[in-house]
Structure 1
Amino acid sequence: MNNKQRTATIKEKKYPYFTWVDIQDPSDEEANELVTAKGLSPILVKDSLQAGHLPKLEPIEEGYFMILRACTQEVDKPTSIIDFSNKIAFFVFKDRLITIHRAEYAFLDSAPPHIKHVDALVLHIVDNMVDSFQEPVENLSNKIDDMENHIFTKKGSNLTLEQLYFLKSKARIGKKLIGLIQTVINELAVGKGHKSRLQDIKDSLTAHHLLYDEAVEDTNGLLDSYLSVTAQKSNDVMKVLTIFSAFFLPLTFIAGIYGMNFDVMPELRRQNGYFYTLGVMVLICLIVFLWFKRKRFF
């Protein structure tokens, strides 16, 4: 749909002491109208509509502006935070809250009806955004365990280096994103009665960061294991080829000599020369076999 034809979904909810206006997927024209009607900074409204904007916290007159990202989708081949998450922009004032976002969030419709302070609503939304990272990191850990099992079994031949790379990319992006959110939340100031809820959110972020950090380490180890197993398989193939070469090289040498078309070759005139030559070949193979076994090559 063309940007000019798109119509934003605007929901306004009045609480006893403040008003919440939620705006989903506004067009550029609607964003400009929002700047005029709500008295918002055009630069910050533009930031709130920018798809790849990173989390941040910025003080504004009589409040603050904040951008956070929630994990709303899982793709097989993530290359950036846009593939992994979507954002919500918050304009927070004492008597009103304005949220702007592109994607649809189910938890925005489940806000408790009896909220008395704008900080409580902000923390409710933030808490749900942080929780959105829990299931993806658990799925990531399960995939890592499955791939580790595949690598050390015959099923490992189905894996590719590309799959491991994107698994590592997902862990790396998740860790980076959680770290950025942590920085913003650590700077967030709320009323005295809401500090306990804020601390719970910080604890959840710390737990998620540890899980993603562990996932990054596991994917690095997984990649090293895959390369090691692949190299071992290549070495095994080369070992087999080397053993065959050691057996057939002297035999080929003998066959090459007696395949030359010279008239004066005494062995060619012997009645049992063929059998003598075969016997020498068998003896050579036996000597090579005993030597390999003594050196424990097999």
Structure 2
Amino acid sequence: MSTQLKKFKNFEWLDIQKPKKEFFTPSSLPFPVEFNLLEDALEHGHLPKIEHQGTHRFIILRAFSAEPKASSTDLAKLTNKIAFLLYENYLVTIHQKPFDFLGSLEEQSFDSAEDLMLKIFGLMLDTYERPLQWLAEKMDESEQELFVQNQQKTSLKSLYFQKAKARICRKVLQLSQNVLNQLEVNAAHQSALQDLKETTQSYLLHFDEVVEDAHSLMQTHMSLSAQKSNEVMKLLTIFSAFFLPLTFIVGVYGMNFDHIPELHWQKGYYFAWGIMLLISVMIWVWFKRKKFI
């Protein structure tokens, strides 16, 4: 557990990283906090939320922390949370994973704890930019492979992970949007809050497009695979239609009975060939007229 206290002109910021449950208690914080809020702050997979508790507000948001190409469908592996305790002149941030953007804020100036919190919110939302760009590029690559290059290169497993990742990001952003909609700030910060809402809405729309594209590509991939299977079955059916009657003729005249009527025909061999060729031509003409081939 590591703590860092940063004093600004009008407020103080306490950043707590990797808090240990046995040492992280309401008495370890500068202001009294309900124990259930500390449990939420320690829970790795807790979803975004906001609660008003007397003189302070408790907020949880999640930032995308994994590599964009990571193949995972686990919320806790793709994103990590920061819990905020906002007082009038004090901000407490609690997180397990280190975030580089938090260090860049120490040298900046802020007029209030609320101003700093909104700035952190914006930096957390910016973490979704890289996975969004990566997913959009992968969708374009998959689309080209599917329609222009070789369908076999398109991996349904890869599309599944891309769709799952976009769906998780979309869900987290939807919950984050609910938090921002419930958040009340001072008049001086209304514009900053509105910018955050618009940024969240923009990311939501883009992730919606990725999910829809991934779903469409998966459906198209399965349709093309089914079409190829149908073409193979059609080809096998055509071959069967040609060879079944010929096999029947060969089977009849291949029987080893002594008294087969046509057994001693001098031109029986040529006659059998003629019948088989005639049947083959008739089948071919019928298929052509029916546009099967």
Normalising by structure 1, report the TM-score.
0.92
Aligned-partner SS, 2:130: helix
Please state if 1:186 is matched with 2:174. no
User: Contact 2:26–2:38 at 8 Å: present in 1 too?
Assistant: no
Please state if 1:32 is matched with 2:25. yes
In structure 1, C-alpha distance between the alignment counterparts of 2:117 and 2:90, rounded to whole Å: 11
Instruction: Describe the superposition over 1:173-193 as per-residue Cα deviations: whole angstroms up to 9, x where unpaired.
Output: 111111000000111111111
In structure 1, C-alpha distance between the alignment counterparts of 2:71 and 2:195, rounded to whole Å: 32
Please state if 1:45 is matched with 2:35. no
Instruction: Give 1:20's aligned residue.
Output: 13
Aligned-partner SS, 2:25: helix
User: Contact 2:170–2:204 at 8 Å: present in 1 too?
Assistant: yes
Instruction: Give 2:208's aligned residue.
Output: 213
How far did 1:91 drift? Answer: 0.5
In structure 2, C-alpha distance between the alignment counterparts of 1:254 and 1:167, rounded to whole Å: 57
How far did 1:36 drift? Answer: 5.9
- Which residue of 121, 130, 141 corresponds with 1:126? 121
- Which residue of 25, 36, 50 corresponds with 1:57? 50
- In structure 2, do the counterparts of structure 1 residues 210 and 104 end up closer, same or farther at CA, with 3 Å as the change threshold? same
Please state if 1:150 is matched with 2:133. no
Q: Which amino acid aligns with 1:131?
A: D
Higher mean Cα deviation, 206-215 or 167-176?
167-176
- Which residue of 58, 63, 80 corresponds with 1:86? 80
How far did 1:79 drift? Answer: 2.4
Normalising by structure 2, report the TM-score.
0.94
- In structure 2, do the counterparts of structure 1 residues 127 and 98 end up closer, same or farther at CA, with 3 Å as the change threshold? same
Instruction: Give 2:259's aligned residue.
Output: 264
User: Contact 1:35–1:42 at 8 Å: present in 2 too?
Assistant: no
In structure 1, C-alpha distance between the alignment counterparts of 2:179 and 2:72, rounded to whole Å: 24
In structure 1, C-alpha distance between the alignment counterparts of 2:95 and 2:8, rounded to whole Å: 21
Aligned-partner SS, 2:263: helix
Residue identity over aligned pairs, in percent, reads 42
Gaps of 5+ in 1: 1-7
Between the two proteins, the alignment pairs up a number of residues equal to 291
Aligned-partner SS, 2:110: coil
Please tell me the root mean square deviation across aligned C-alpha atoms, in Å. Answer: 1.7
Pairing 1:89-238 to 2, within 5 Å after superposition: 89-111=83-105, 112-153=107-148, 155-238=150-233
In structure 2, C-alpha distance between the alignment counterparts of 1:75 and 1:38, rounded to whole Å: 41
Instruction: Give 2:269's aligned residue.
Output: 274
In structure 1, C-alpha distance between the alignment counterparts of 2:27 and 2:39, rounded to whole Å: 11
In structure 2, C-alpha distance between the alignment counterparts of 1:259 and 1:110, rounded to whole Å: 90
In structure 2, C-alpha distance between the alignment counterparts of 1:71 and 1:34, rounded to whole Å: 31
Gaps of 5+ in 2: none
- Which residue of 26, 41, 65 corresponds with 1:72? 65
Q: Which amino acid aligns with 1:159?
A: T
